[in-house]
Amino acid sequence: MRALEWLELLMTGADALEPTTFVEHVFAEDDAEEILDLLWNGELDIEEFNDIVLELIGEVSGRPWWVTMKLISSAKGSWDFLGAELMLQGIRATEVSLSAWLDVVLLLILRNIDPDKATLFTSELEMPPPGVEMKPEELEISAQQFLSMG
C-alpha cells in the first residue's frame, strides 16, 4: 500500500484500528475473511490481534507505532502548512511509502519548528504511551566487532 492508503486508514483514529475495518482495508478479501474468522471463532485473541496490528503499523512506517500515530496527528493538525510544503517538495502520498512520507513530514516539521521547541517535540513524539515498554534496540554489530574497529 502507498502512503495515501495508510493515511486514509490511520487518520480516522481509533475506528480504523477496529478489526473489521483494519483487516478489510489492509488485506486481500480471502485473507481478510480468514483473519476475521479466526477472530470471531476465538482462535485469535483480540489483544494478540491488536498487538499484531500495532507491530504491522510500526513495520510499514519504519518507526514505533506510537511515533507514527503522533506524526500523522501532527501532520493533520498542521496540514495548511505541511500539505503545501509536501506539494512543493514533490512528495505525493499516492507515490511513496508511508515510511518515506513520514520521513519527509518529520524533516519539514523539524526544519520549521522553533529551535527551542524541537527537543520537546521530539521527546514527546518518541515517548511511548503509558503501559507500553520500548524494546531495547538490537545492536547491528556485536560489542567485540565494534571494539575491533579501533
pLDDT tens by residue, 55-72:
999 999 999 999 999 999
Residue 21 lies in a domain: yes
Q: Which are the contacts of 120, defined by CB distance < 8 A and separation ≥ 6? A: none
Does a structural domain hold residue 27? yes
Residue 147 lies in a domain: no
Rg of the chain, C-alpha, whole Å: 18
| Domain-located, residue 144 | no
Task: Tell me whether residue 65 is in a domain.
Answer: yes
Three-state DSSP state, 70? helix
**Are 98 and 9 in contact, with CB atoms under 8 Å apart?**
no
* Whole-prediction pTM: 0.81
Domain count, the chain: 1
Q: Whose CA is closest to 101, among 54, 53, 56, 60? A: 60
Q: What pLDDT is recorded for position 94?
A: 94
pLDDT at 62: 95
Residue 49 lies in a domain: yes
Average pLDDT over residues 26-33: 91
Q: Which domain holds residue 106?
A: 3-126
- The pLDDT value recorded for residue 140 is 46
Question: Is residue 134 domain-resident?
Answer: no
User: What is the per-residue pLDDT for 14?
Assistant: 61
Q: How confident is the model at residue 138 (pLDDT cuts 50, 70, 90)?
A: very low
Q: Round the average pLDDT of the chain to a whole number and report it.
A: 86
Q: Looking at the domain assignment, is residue 98 inside a domain? A: yes
Joined together, the cell numbers standing for residue 147 give: 571494539
Which of 46-50, 80-84, 128-132 shows the lowest per-residue confidence on average (mean pLDDT)? 128-132
